[in-house]
Amino acid sequence: MAKDDAEGRVYFTASSLKLVLLSVFTFGYYEFYWFYRNWLLFKVRTGQNIMPVWRATLTPVFAYSLFKDIEDKTALYDRLPYAGAAALAVAYFVLFLLHFLPEPFDLVSVLTIVPMVLANRMAGAVNRAHISGYKENGRFGVLNVAALFFGGIFVALSVAAKFYDGPSLFEISQQSGFSFGTQMQSRLGQ
């Protein structure tokens, strides 16, 4: 937090590539982090008594407020917003709800990143206008790379599992004559 204040950032931003990759490969946890960091900066900048953790946790409810703040600041710096706050918030909310669709259709909910990228670009425009020589955070640190590596493995396995229609490991073991239950019983002497 102090680093952001010292740099004079109005918003926490990342390059579009970093935002998309980390959001997808962390199963949306980077989205939570992005919202949390922006609410933290909002609290410091405005002095409002808000709880950034809860605003980030309840993002579908509070996304409009943050997107509207970004849109308003964009207008202050004579920058045209890429999209309206209401459109971004509605898109985010609807895409978030798609997570509750049956598998594999719930994968569409990963598109919540689209309104976030647009808001992030608007926030970046504000930071560039506010800070001379501002450079967006596109660097991947050690934790980012670790999240991409391990998250990539889990994302690949999760997507594959959603589309796999073969027998389960349990069914395969029963077909081969190996039963976890009988093996365990024989080891316990029952």
Closest residue by Cα to residue 106 from 149, 32, 30, 158: 158
What's residue 74's pLDDT? 87
Q: Count other Cβ atoms within 10 Å, centred on residue 99.
A: 14
Q: pLDDT value at position 57?
A: 94
pLDDT for 55 equals 96
**CA distances (Å), origin 30, targets 33, 160, 186:** 5, 22, 47
Count Cβ neighbours within 10 Å for each residue of 132-169 and write b for 16 or more, e otherwise: eebebbeebeeebeebbeebeeebeeeeeeeeeeeeee
- 140: enclosing H helix or E strand: none
Mean pLDDT of the chain: 85
Specify the amino acid at residue 181: G
Report d(CA 179, CA 172) in Å as an integer: 10
Tell me, what's the pLDDT at 181?
56
Note the pLDDT tens digit of each residue in 118-165: 999 999 989 988 888 888 888 999 998 999 999 889 888 887 877 777
pLDDT of residue 165: 74
Say which residue the tokens 């239950």 belong to.
Answer: 181
Angle between helices 85-97 and 113-130 (to 10 degrees): 150
Q: CA 19 to CA 102: how far, in whole Å?
A: 26
Which helix or strand (DSSP H or E) is residue 174 part of?
helix 169-175
* SS3 per-residue string spanning 73-131: HHHHCCCCCCCCHHHHHHHHHHHHHHHHCCCCHHHHHHHHHHHHHHHHHHHHHHHHHHC
Neighbours of 97 (CB within 10 A): 12
Q: Where are the domains of the chain?
A: 2-139
Q: Dump pLDDT digits (tens) for 1-38.
A: 445 554 678 999 999 999 999 999 998 899 999 999 99
Q: What does pTM read for this prediction?
A: 0.79
